[in-house]
Amino acid sequence: MPGFFRKHLCAAGTASVLAVAAAPATLAAINTAGIIASAVTQDCISWRVSGVCYWLMCTPFGCSVKTSVKVTHYIPEVVVSTYTGPGGNPWREMAFMSGAAGVVDGGLTSGAAGGGNAADIKDAGRRQSNIKFKYADAIGHPATSLIGGSIAGYSCDTAARAFNPYFLSTLDSLMWRSGLPESLYPEALIPGQRELGSQAGANMWGNLYPRSGFVSQTDDDKASAVVAQRVADIITRSGQIHVYQQLKGTRKPGYWPPGEVKENTGTANHKWQRLSPTLSATCAVFPDGAWPTAQDGNEAYALWQPYSCCKRRGQTFLYATTF
């Protein structure tokens, strides 16, 4: 899948020069400068000293044990955008990507030009069903390398690459539109599995499976959040039946990148910062209360994940203690 993604992405990049000029104007609410500025928030970074690392340093005169501080903090990795039509990404400078991908993927996306409310069935004046459809992109956060690795020994390197497209739903059109084969998975068929929120907690927002653009949710903001959670679920795992690039760091001595994104686990492995239509200076996990709904149905979120690391002080990493 990753090779297939890169092949189409290169084609999309070639087509983008022609497509940008012809792309329709979008109601973009955020830009790159605003996203970078929004990342300067201690509530999201949550920097702390988390332990001590021990290294074995050897020289021609003998060996000794050196120590370094272990730190833990969150890094903004990707901006996940959900929107109702091709080219509708609210991140202004990146809106062309989905439009260009649609040009390359024309056979699959040309017949799927719209989103929003795919079905709105009413009976005796009362709404009985509301199925929404969202396109989605996950693109490397522009401040990921500014927050990650900015101060040697006191900040960790990020596994993400700024502006890199990790997921474009227009390139994943077959699975994103059909929901197959994931609609046949146990996670999709068994109630209570892989759900964002819970019925018992009276905050059930939606099912994670099938991980497609269709969501059964009357609240548009909650529908967008469910789609964003699905995208994060896909890109932080390997071997998924989707067209994407995996976002995962490689563990090495003195460096502990985050694991897979998992819902309903608190902030243990991720948290979200809302960027559009309402810019938040804090981070939380879904469900995160009531928020205004975008008038155009387009929303954007920054995905933050925790990293731990310590400065190398010798040739051999011995062990680390954690506070």
**Mind listing the pLDDT tens digit for each residue in 193-204?**
999 999 888 999
Quick one: pLDDT at residue 116?
Answer: 61
Given pLDDT bands bounded at 50, 70 and 90, which one contains residue 153? confident
Residue 50 pLDDT class (50, 70, 90 cuts): very high
Cα–Cα dist 225/271, whole Å: 12
Total tally of structural domains belonging to the chain: 1
Longest distance between any two alpha carbons in the chain, whole Å: 88
Instruction: Tell me what percent of the residues of the chain surpass a pLDDT of 90.
Output: 75
- Res 16 pLDDT > 80: no
| Mean pLDDT in residue range 23-31 | 54
How many whole angstroms separate alpha carbon 172 and alpha carbon 206? 21
Supply the range of the domain harboring residue 105: 2-322
pLDDT of residue 152: 84
- Residue 151 has a pLDDT of 87
**pLDDT surpasses 70 at 166:** yes
Whether the upstream peptide bond of residue 86 has omega within 30° of 0, thus cis, is no
| The pTM of the whole model exceeds 0.75 | yes
Alpha-carbon distance of 45 to 40, in angstroms, equals 8
Mean pLDDT of the chain: 87
Which residue type, as a one-letter code, is found at position 160?
Answer: A
pLDDT per residue over 213-251, tens digit each?
999 999 999 999 999 999 999 999 999 999 999 999 999
Query: What is the pLDDT at residue 29?
Result: 72
pLDDT at 299 over 50: yes
3-state SS of the chain is CHHHHHHHHHHHHHHHHHHHHHCCCCCCCECHHHHHHHCCCHHHHCCEEEEEEEEEEEECCEEEEEEEEEEEEEEEEEEEEEECCCCCCCEHHHHHHHHHHHHHCHHHHCCCCCCEEEEEEEECCEEEEEEEECEEEEEECCCHHHHCCCCCCCCCCCCCCCCCEEEECCCCHHHHHHCCCHHHCHHHHCCCCCEECCCCCCCCCEECCCCCCEEECCCHHHHHHHHHHHHHHHHCCCCCCCCCCCCCCCCECCEECCCCCCCCCCCCCCEEEEEECCCCCCCECCCCCCCCCCCCCCEEEEEEEEEEEECCCCCEEEEEEEC
